[in-house]
Chains A and B, each alone.
Chain A
Amino acid sequence: MAINQSTAPAETGLRGPRGEPVTLDVNGATYAIELEPRVSLLDALRDHLDMTGTKKGCDQGTCGACTVWMDGRRVLSCLTLAYSCEGHQIATIEGIAQDGELHPMQQAFIDHDAFQCGYCTPGQIMSAIALLREGNATTDADIAEHMSGNICRCQAYPNIHAAIREVRDADDGG
């Protein structure tokens, strides 16, 4: 086996492919960063804004771990171009708790043990809160259909059901 290797160290100083300035509104704050046009919102959040709460599970829209809200609607940040988010309000799991108080859905996930490894949990919670807002949680079948874009490999689904039902019923009662 032959190995060709040049000994000179590579030229340094470039931080990856060239970026262009872009402004993102995330969790109520505005960030000006430089990005290559091809970068997904997910990579922008994780690698450029240091918001790693949003998870990468597949990078192709088949797991739901990267679910965030764009103008209040849940979308997959891996399939959303960061550039196209300019002028839109992005919300991530980091912005869900208010003043140190967990959102009721976050608390319900803890109380019902609605996760094990927790990797899918940020996406599950972003979907679950949106689900209630969409009015898609009337029955267990509704919950299942409208949570079916969020894979949980630990398969904590019965407990996810329970957590969503609890918050739904508390909302109805209050």
Chain B
Amino acid sequence: MTVSTVAPATVEGGVGTSARRPDGILKVAGEFAYSSDLWADEMLWGATVRSPHPSAEIRAIDITAAVALPGVYAVLTAADVPGARHYGLEVVDQPVLAIDEVRYEGEPVAIVAADHPETARRAAARITVEYAVRAPVTDPEDALSRGDLVRHVPVRRFASAGGTALTADVVVTGTYEVGMQDQAFLGPESGLAVPAEDGGIDLFVATQWLHVDQKQVAACLGLPAEKVRLSLAGVGGAFGAREDLSMQVHASLLALHTGKPVKMVYGREESFFGHVHRHPARLSYEHGATRDGKLLYVKARIVLDGGAYTSSTPAVVANAATLGVGPYDVPTVVVEAYGVYTNNPPCGAMRGFGAVQACFAYESQMDKLAAEVGLDPVELRRRNAMTTGSVMPTGQLVHGPAPVADLLALVRDRPLPPAATGDPRERPGGVANTTRGEGVVRGVGYAIGIKNVCFSEGFDDFATARVRLSVVGGEPAVLVHTAAAEVGQGLVTVQAQIARTELGVTKVTVATADTSVGSAGSSSASRQTYMTGGAVRAACQAVKATVLARVGRAGELALVDGKVVASDGAVVASLVDLLGNDVVEETVEWRHKPTRPLDPVTGQGDAHVQYAFAAHRAVVDVDTELGLVRVVEIATAQDVGKAVNPQAVVGQIQGGTAQGLGLAVMEEVQVVDGVIRNPSFTDYLIPTILDMPPMAVDVLEMGDPDAPYGLRGVGEPPTISSTPAVVAAIRAATGRPLTRVPVRPEHIAL
């Protein structure tokens, strides 16, 4: 790892160190309690009846046979929902249980609780639903022409006032498609709802945002929020798929109805129907440039298929629109982005969130333009690279570092990997013995992407942290409590690191996230280290101020190694003496600088908080006759502002990159006429260790003055540009246009 500006790590286990995960021992020992591992006395098991049709009217539901099955405690339908019968992240439009109609395959219709999971499944199978099947709307363009619009975001910016004609010496056009990707977290949706004595519910669940779940669950149960208490259970991956509710309301309903704890665990197939996916997209682009490759304009039309319900489609559309030309200076931009309703599976958040689809298109266009003007693809990108002080298509000035040209140079200047050896495992096809070198051509491709960090468009984005300092067992100890969801990204590690650095105390415990403390916002939008990290830092600083005030002495004081230290290094007091039996606790609600909504006509506005960038270079070997691909190596460079935990940062970059690789060559939920054809890991393929190439990672630390420690969100950027880089490399090897991802063997070979 290359680090350009290294701040000395002054505190052991503090900010800037690769502190170990506090939950690591439990995870390697098999003792970490994931949401599917929970158990309670007298516990019942829930199961869900789902629609087999993408669109149908419900004529009748007969639950008699299910209720009659021994061991069944409850069978509930929409009529049994005591509160709001719909929920939703941004728009409340998704039924808890289908009301009179179903709008996508897999939509929940009824739920069952029984004393054994097998009994619950069998009972569910005995529920008869009479459907009047309707022709589903599955083509997004059809949906658009019918007016089934979730949101239209235009972004219009012109080089000169009053608009200009879109003309240029060099014009390249292209239409691109992105298939539906699944987050495919390994630990399926699950949780345990326990009825409480006060008539409320205690819900233990794997989620990305406890408080947004709480709000929706409480509304549906008809309970005040304080009677719906959520605790974070172990999360087996998220990647956006746990932003929307899955089993939360269902298990709670069953628990309240039966008076018993109810556990629900989705199987893998059900999981494909139990959460939203990445929006499939169709993107038409026109790039105009001078003969020496300077961009003059970009015109784009982006249509994202939101599926049956709104979910987070409005924000995904805004991202695709505002980030739609990539990290380039473009004088004139006309982007029209649409999200539509269809009877396809609902789509919402997945790592990269609208930026992924756009990046595949604009980076494919940049390669096309480079070929057209006879420039090296990296050189073309560098000539158009945005920098600090650039203006986004939204009119927003980019204040912070924007090292786009530097990132491209870093991946370009990495030495190329050697040719494959004779080992079959280094060839396309691996041990399947498809080639001994016949037809194999190497290709190299580049891409760079841009992502917004934190919530945008004027959203009141905040995080809450409670920090308590006291003496425990004769030494100072800190307890950090937030509602922020650790989903594997290492947030609990980072929270403890920040507390150690700010308070000079080694012994830090991070409490289980729950709703007894204020909201932390979602573990999404690459925002949690920024936001909850910022809140923990602010709370620590408040604790520190309170403690130092007790010293009653002017001048600069610091907390180091459990002591109050003066600026000359003299120890003024020990925390143990200063605190005695007292507890100092502060709770802080922390906000990033405000953002503004987008103008609904021009798409102008300071909508985003921070921009993050990553570049990739992919090297592939392609069996051009069979269309099989082996990614040989990926080099990547990313600016993270400040690597709060360098090891975790690199892990995020590697993981995100590999998920982008998956989208490039294998991952797609295949939907035909609204029906998912491959809801299993047999046919929804995720990269194995044999598919993941060695990676060269450059990490830049160019601090953002507005962000805590100068950090920049890390999680999403690597997922964005790795897909177009891999596809560019395959194009370089094959000469095929490859306008759709995932690239399938027949796209290359036929």
Contact = CB atoms under 8 A, between A and B. Distances in A.
Q: Verify whether A and B have any Cβ pair under 8 Å.
A: yes
B489 to A, nearest CB: 7
B429 interface: no
A58 B647 CA distance: 29
A161 to B, nearest CB: 7
A3 B119 contact: no
Nearest to B686: A151
A79 interface: no
Contacts of B744: none
A54 B76 CA distance: 32
A153 B686 contact: yes
Contacts of A160: 689
A60 interface: yes
Interface stretch (B17-25, B46-54, B279-287, B620-628): B17-25
B655 A92 contact: no
Contacts of A36: 118
A116 B489 contact: yes
Interface in B209-257: 234-239
A155 B659 contact: yes
B59 to A, nearest CB: 7
B490 A158 contact: no
A12 B73 contact: yes
B62 interface: yes
A141 B68 contact: no
Interface in A43-98: 46-47, 50-60, 62-63, 65, 92-94, 96-97
A110 B61 contact: no
B436 to A, nearest CB: 16
Task: State which size class the interface on A falls in.
Answer: 35 or more
B39 A157 contact: no
Given A110-B25, A158-B694, A12 B70 contact: yes
Interface string B57-86: 011111110011111110101010000000
Contacts of B69: 10
Contacts of A14: 70-71, 115-116, 119
A62 B680 contact: yes
Contact of A56 (B36, B77, B647): B36
A109 B347 CA distance: 34
B681 interface: yes
Contacts of B31: 53, 94
A17 B119 CA distance: 7
A29 interface: no
A47 B45 CA distance: 12
A83 B230 CA distance: 39
B655 A154 contact: yes
B431 interface: yes
Nearest to B119: A16
Given A17-B116, A113-B647, A57 B70 contact: no
Contacts of A110: 20-21, 24-25, 28
Nearest to B656: A155
Interface stretch (B180-188, B293-301, B458-466, B556-564): B180-188
Q: Which of B30, B118, B188 has the most CB of A within 10 A?
A: B30
Interface in A1-39: 1-6, 9-17, 36
Contact of B63 (A3, A9, A94, A148): A3
Interface in B657-696: 657-659, 680-682, 686-690, 692, 694-695
B65 to A, nearest CB: 9
Q: Which of A13, A60, A139 has the most CB of B within 10 A?
A: A60
Contacts of B689: 143-144, 147-148, 150, 152, 157, 160-161
Contacts of B28: 102, 106-107, 109-110, 115, 118, 121-122, 125
A120 B24 CA distance: 13
A10 B67 contact: yes
Nearest to B58: A1
A117 interface: yes
Q: Which of A53, A54, A139, A140 has the most CB of B within 10 A?
A: A53
B268 interface: yes
A24 to B, nearest CB: 17
A81 to B, nearest CB: 15
Interface string B411-442: 00000000000010110001100000000000
A117 to B, nearest CB: 3
A105 B523 CA distance: 30
A157 to B, nearest CB: 4
Interface string B74-107: 0101010000000000000000000110000000
A151 B681 contact: yes
A65 B186 contact: yes
A117 B70 contact: no
A141 B651 contact: no
B292 interface: no
Contacts of A58: 268, 680-681
A154 B488 contact: yes
B739 interface: no
A127 B34 CA distance: 21
B596 interface: no
B593 interface: no
A145 interface: yes
A160 to B, nearest CB: 7
B546 to A, nearest CB: 35
Nearest to B486: A117
B682 A119 contact: no
A174 B133 CA distance: 68
Contact of B690 (A11, A54, A145): A145
Contact of B654 (A10, A65, A94, A158): A158
Contacts of A132: none
B577 interface: no
Nearest to B424: A141
Contact of A1 (B60, B68, B268, B654): B60
A58 B684 CA distance: 11
A146 to B, nearest CB: 9
Contacts of A6: 64, 67-68
Contacts of A13: 70
Given A58-B680, A161-B689, A94 B25 contact: no
A59 B64 contact: no
Q: Which of B70, B236, B423 has the most CB of A within 10 A?
A: B236
Nearest to B73: A10
Contacts of B690: 144-145, 148
B648 interface: yes
Contacts of B682: 60, 62
B621 to A, nearest CB: 14
B619 to A, nearest CB: 16
B687 to A, nearest CB: 7
Nearest to B661: A155
A159 B689 CA distance: 11
A152 B23 CA distance: 18
A159 B118 contact: no
A123 B692 CA distance: 19
Nearest to A155: B658
A13 B689 CA distance: 47
Given A10-B67, A57-B268, A17 B186 contact: no
Contacts of B23: 118
A3 B686 CA distance: 42
Given A121-B28, A144-B425, A158 B692 contact: yes
Given A55-B187, A93-B29, A158-B694, 10 more contacts: A2-B60, A3-B79, A47-B117, A58-B268, A106-B29, A118-B234, A119-B187, A150-B689, A153-B183, A156-B651
17 contacts: A2-B60, A5-B75, A6-B67, A12-B71, A14-B115, A16-B71, A54-B30, A60-B681, A63-B186, A96-B29, A102-B28, A111-B20, A113-B21, A116-B490, A119-B186, A121-B27, A149-B688
7 smallest beta-carbon distances between A and B, as pairs: A53-B30, A16-B116, A117-B488, A119-B236, A118-B27, A93-B30, A116-B488
